[in-house]
Structure 1
Amino acid sequence: MAWPLLLFAALALPPSAAARPSAPATNSSSSPLTNVTLGVVVAERDLRSLLGPALELALEALEPQLSRAALCVRPVYASYRDCSVAAEKSETLKAAHSPDVLLGLGCDSEDDDVGRRASDWGLPLVTAGHYYRDPEFKTMVYAGPAGSTLAVFLTLLHRRFNWTSRAAFALSRAAENSHPDHSLLRIRKRLLDAPKFIGARKKYRRPDDAVRFIRAHGRVVYIVGSVEMVRRIIHLAQVQNMTNGDYVFFYLDLFGESLRAEGHREAAKPWQSMESQEVGGLREAFQTVLVITYHEPQTTEYRQFQSQRNLRAQRDLGVALNDSLQEKLVAGCFHDGLVLYIRALIETLDEGGSKRDTSRILKKMRRLKIQGVTGTVSINGKNDREMDFDLWAMVNVERGQYQVVAHYVGSEQRINWTGQIHWKKGEVPLDNPPCVFDKVGSSCGKHGCFLLVLLPGS
């Protein structure tokens, strides 16, 4: 007997926003059909541009597995314009449809309380967009790009270059507020596990004060903020003779906006401004700047997924998608997160469990490793995806061209080196050179890890 794979959308949603019904699937087993309801709680803008096409493509890719497992998948939707009502919308959806799992792209603030609701209801919550995690979000699986997994990569870099102290973190207040997962607290905590580190937090209203502080106390500098802020810091560092090779600056530009061609800025040249390529000699100073981004897959599967996503968004929703790494990666990660959940669900059912056995399903999601359109999908013990990162360095000093020199593989916690870093002085900068920070005695005895916050107006 042939069983159709049913894909329904909530009646309140326009048909263009619903997942497209798939071709009928054949149930070759004698097992009764199991209905699985996907509760999709998402901002309206994300439903049209990110989640809708990705959900449709994921369900189509899953059709053979769903058919063999005798599963009937039914997405139901609750959309919102403001994160403050997301939890209320999720309660309405639960009351009306009793979903077996919640899906969404989340919010980046405490206004998003869907994670707490999901935990209270004992439902898995698979999300991939904005990152906000509370200790009470016990059933949330974050399948998307999370800066929280960056700490392992940086720890490996420090180990490779023998840096055990003098790490300075500079971030704008805007960056800290808008990207709580990029506030470096987890990264700082991981680095501070080394016994020689001492934590301190300093606030400066002006970048030049912060740069003077870094000059006196730091050597390995991490910067989070706009590319304009980075150029200003590097210019000030250049004036202070800090770009001669004694310091190394890491710009955490996770979605690679500074490497995109925009305005008058050429691709892979973050030292150029969008208004003009003449930036007062910053090209040479940026030789001391390394850029860290998420890794964008280069596989045929990833390219095909993005091509199909663009086509369907334009054809079905009338939406022209932008080419930003953030949107492409989030959409791909959501697709893979849903595929991972279905795989875990099928294994649970095959072993005699039920679709509401949340703890068992979550355990399997942490154990499984699958190959998705965004590469290997691996969930760590905190229910966050182990993301891949790229390290960019200036490989052509004359042209100021950046290129990937290392790829961090999150699922293996390993760095693959694909190029060389051209250190300004021909060797790795020392993080704690003798008799520089402590001129009493034969070596520097003080160590520190500093977190700087540049306040508005900087």
Structure 2
Amino acid sequence: MAAPPLLLLGALLGVPFSEASTAPQVTASVAPTEAVTLGVLLPGRNLRYPWAWPRVQPALSLALEAQLRPLGLDVRTAFASTENQEGQCDSRAAFFKATDLKRSQAPDVLLGPGCFRLHVVVESFAKFSQLPLLRAGVYLRRQDFSASVYAGPAGPNLLDFQAQLLRHFHWTSRALLLASRQVDYWQYPVWGFGKQLAATIPNIRARAYVYHQPDEKAVQFIQDNRVVFILGPLKMLQEIMRLAQAQNMTSGDYVFIYLDFLGESLSAEGHREAAKPWQSKECPDLGDLREAFRTVLMVTPHVPQTPEYRRFQSQLIQRAQRDFGVAVNDSLGTLVAGCFHDVLLLYLGALNETLQEGGTKRNTSRILEKMRGLKIQGVTGTVSLNSNNDRETDFDLQAMRDVESGEFQVVAHYVGADKQIEWLGPIHWKKGSPPLDNPPGVFDMDDPSCGKGGG
């Protein structure tokens, strides 16, 4: 007889199935009608992760307080950290804690894991245990994990937004993605970049390049394209812009589009002021990159500006300080906690409908079907799922408002559910109009206009 999936997974990781560690518990109780155990697998202490437990736990508590009494549920939260002793997300630790949760806590639903490298472990565990898995950290779609629900800020429709931007500005000839060697937080289809764009923009030549350092090879890749997407830490963007400035590629003939899934580049940190990504947290000037950043557009998650979201942020900050003694600022990073809050609300609503119709908390497929059919108003806005159990997320496009201030502001909002871009303000192009992605006589030497004007 074939070994159970968890045993096979343990063998691959070199982990004995019998080893486990005890999961600490946080309990939220009301008058019980139906007892539900929420198993949480997230980093326990390291606030470098936006989905660390001190940030997410207050969000979950706020969701439960809002819904338990109206729904008549008794939800108990069993938490287990997926960090190793060094405070990093670790697959072995996740495997230990997942198997321990199953044995000792018998969860009815799971939430996590946040970190990309843990998905194989936790999603395999959810599938083996036939439990819904609520996610809002990294995005990863794997066809064989149908019990997984994603409601975070880095949804799968980012590529659709990118394609719409390219078509809007008539950049349909060529595009480049420069990606960091290690994108810690987010899974992005780097090597599928060209293939997926080509599916919606015929004949485009879209390429991906793993960026190592500012060398001649990187320069050549940029020169061979005029539209450059950049995925990596803010330091990488600043390094590329210094390189582009030195190579005279910031005069308005190129555009650099930075993919910032948490909007961290626009938050104040150290010497860096808010909305000024050309500054360094160590040095506010950074070799005067302000002028070069006029050629930069930034894609960030859309952060609601509603009273409900601001109230949620305030409560989250207060509770994190009170319950964990940690300072959680009100940056875009709190959006992840808000997404976990909202996906839990969506699950509770679907569970309630299932119970009302005579089902049970273990009718996973029925609950997931209910979740796909629901549309709720959460603290992060309207929450609904597509046929792949993914939330259609919203994004903002940011551009420099003016050179004097150097501040970036929202110029467009992408509405994921409608797949439409709402334009909110002008982009101040350096040459008065968007750069051409295929200028006459630059890439296509057979273009008859190449020889005009004595060129």
Judge same fold: TM > 0.5, yes or no: yes
The verdict on how the C-alpha distance between 1:279 and 1:200 changes in structure 2, with shifts beyond 3 A counting, is closer
**1-structure distance, mates of 2:36, 2:449:** 65
**1-structure distance, mates of 2:299, 2:94:** 32
**TM-score computed with the length of structure 1 as normaliser:** 0.83
Name the SS of the counterpart of 1:379 in structure 2: coil
Deviations, residues 312-361 of structure 1 (Å, cap 9, x unaligned): 222233333244422x1111111101000011112223334332221222
For the pair 1:342 / 2:348, whether they are aligned, the reply is: yes
**Equivalent residue number for residue 259 of structure 1:** 266
**2-structure distance, mates of 1:183, 1:96:** 37
Are the counterparts in 2 of residues 147 and 182 from structure 1 also a CA contact under 8 Å? no
**Equivalent residue number for residue 91 of structure 1:** 99
Are the counterparts in 2 of residues 208 and 233 from structure 1 also a CA contact under 8 Å? no
Deviations, residues 108-131 of structure 1 (Å, cap 9, x unaligned): 205751111111222101122344
**2-structure distance, mates of 1:93, 1:275:** 43
The verdict on how the C-alpha distance between 1:74 and 1:261 changes in structure 2, with shifts beyond 3 A counting, is closer
Are the counterparts in 2 of residues 48 and 319 from structure 1 also a CA contact under 8 Å? no
**Equivalent residue number for residue 76 of structure 1:** 78
**Equivalent residue number for residue 401 of structure 2:** 395
How is 1:41-80 mapped onto 2 (pairs within 5 angstroms)? 41-45=41-45, 48-67=53-72, 71-80=73-82
**TM-score computed with the length of structure 2 as normaliser:** 0.84
CA shift at 1:202, angstroms? 4.5
The verdict on how the C-alpha distance between 1:51 and 1:19 changes in structure 2, with shifts beyond 3 A counting, is farther
Are the counterparts in 2 of residues 366 and 379 from structure 1 also a CA contact under 8 Å? yes
From 102, 106, 115, the counterpart of 2:110? 102
The verdict on how the C-alpha distance between 1:329 and 1:280 changes in structure 2, with shifts beyond 3 A counting, is same
Specify every segment of 5 or more residues in structure 2 that has no aligned partner in the other structure, as ranges. 1-20, 46-50, 85-89, 451-455
**1-structure distance, mates of 2:449, 2:367:** 54
**2-structure distance, mates of 1:388, 1:414:** 10
Name the SS of the counterpart of 1:316 in structure 2: helix
**Equivalent residue number for residue 232 of structure 1:** 239
Are the counterparts in 2 of residues 19 and 55 from structure 1 also a CA contact under 8 Å? no
Are the counterparts in 2 of residues 288 and 424 from structure 1 also a CA contact under 8 Å? yes
For the pair 1:284 / 2:315, whether they are aligned, the reply is: no
Deviations, residues 398-431 of structure 1 (Å, cap 9, x unaligned): 2222111111122222222111111111112221
Task: Give the paired residue count.
Answer: 418
Amino acid at match of 2:242: H
**Equivalent residue number for residue 121 of structure 2:** 113
**Equivalent residue number for residue 167 of structure 1:** 175
**Equivalent residue number for residue 249 of structure 1:** 256
Name the SS of the counterpart of 2:428 in structure 1: coil
Name the SS of the counterpart of 2:292 in structure 1: helix
Deviations, residues 246-289 of structure 1 (Å, cap 9, x unaligned): 11110112222222222332221212233333344422221111
Are the counterparts in 1 of residues 351 and 367 from structure 2 also a CA contact under 8 Å? yes
**2-structure distance, mates of 1:95, 1:371:** 35
The verdict on how the C-alpha distance between 1:381 and 1:186 changes in structure 2, with shifts beyond 3 A counting, is farther
Name the SS of the counterpart of 1:18 in structure 2: strand
Higher relative contact order (CA 8 A, sep 6+): 1
